[in-house]
Amino acid sequence: MVDLLPEQVAGYYDPDSNALYVAADVDSPLVRTTVSHELVHALQDQYMNLDSVMQQRRQNDRRSAAQAILEGQATLGQILVLMPEQSGIPLPSFWETRRVFRAQMASMKEFAHAPLWLRESVIFPYLAGADFVRWYDTRHPGHQPFGAAMPLSTEQILHPDRYAAGDAPVDLAFAPAAGRTVRYEDDLGEFETRLLFEQLLGDTAEAQAPALASGWGGDRYQVITTGGGEVLVWYSVWDDAAARDRFVAGLRRAWRPKPGRSSLVEPLLVAGHPGARLVDAPAAWTGWRAIPAVTVAR
């Protein structure tokens, strides 16, 4: 991560100081691109507190959706400054553009050697965000996807029709952590669930991952510290039983516990929603009869 950022970041807007910084060694043609992109962030900062949007704790998926809006707008603004003739031309979809963009980025040493999840996470907010913002502009001209209009999940970014239908994620909450030490808790969202399958399934995943993550309705995981090692408990809920069963079958095929560990992937109901649970724990873990439960928070 530390090595990758200097290669990728030519400049940035700092909302705390209201200052725009550009690296001293950036080539002149790239300065215009960088400034046009970062000035959009400066304009966004006039409408919302950028820090508050990006510092939401334990709301990874919602934060990723917000970042996609911010970077997507800036990417479109940058394109229109550099190529104003593109204003009326539809952009290719994120999943098409990603292949071209990824091929170009492969020439960058640090990016090419970064883990898949990091490479894809770098690309996602710019390309998927631009795709969504272009869609939003055609349906809500003159309006901004800020405040109450901000997408709530990467599912809504990837599937604007679900945003339009008001398909909000189901918020899951773990029961109070009595008697257990929670090291970390958060969610993945549809986009990172796709990435998980891409990482686990390797070369065959790009065609399979979108289908295996499709129908995502919400998720929550905890990493629990025990005397024998860490335990992962991950719950997810799905739009229907078919989506849930597809996910469970895919995860059973993809998930392989490391030596000395055991795992269980099973379907269940979560407050009436078709759900699934993954538990990955040390083989000697004694908590299988008292696995932490979740409830629907809303």
Coil, strand or helix at 114: coil
Residue 4 has pLDDT above 60, yes or no: no
Cross-strand partners of 266: 277
Report the greatest alpha carbon distance in the chain: 64
Residue 106 has pLDDT above 80, yes or no: no
Spatial distance between the Cα atoms of 229 and 226, rounded to a whole number of angstroms: 5
pTM over 0.75: yes
Q: Are 175 and 224 in contact (CB under 8 A)?
A: no
Helix axes 241-254, 205-213, angle to 10 degrees: 140
Q: What average pLDDT score do residues 217-239 get?
A: 97
Quickly count: other Cβ atoms within 10 Å of residue 254's Cβ.
19
Structure tokens at 92: 């290719």
Query: Average pLDDT over the chain, rounded to whole?
Result: 87
∠ Cα 229 260 254 (to 5°): 100
Residue 101 has pLDDT above 70, yes or no: no
Q: What is the pLDDT of residue 8?
A: 54
Give the confidence band of 30 by pLDDT, cuts at 50, 70, 90.
confident
Distances (CA, A) of 117 to 36, 46, 155, 193, 294: 28, 32, 17, 11, 27
Instruction: Find the DSSP H helices in the chain.
Output: 4-8, 28-47, 50-54, 60-82, 94-105, 109-113, 116-139, 154-158, 160-164, 189-201, 205-213, 241-254
Single-letter amino acid code for the residue at 260: G
Greatest mean pLDDT range, 40-44, 75-79, 165-169:
165-169
Give the confidence band of 52 by pLDDT, cuts at 50, 70, 90.
confident
Single-letter amino acid code for the residue at 239: D
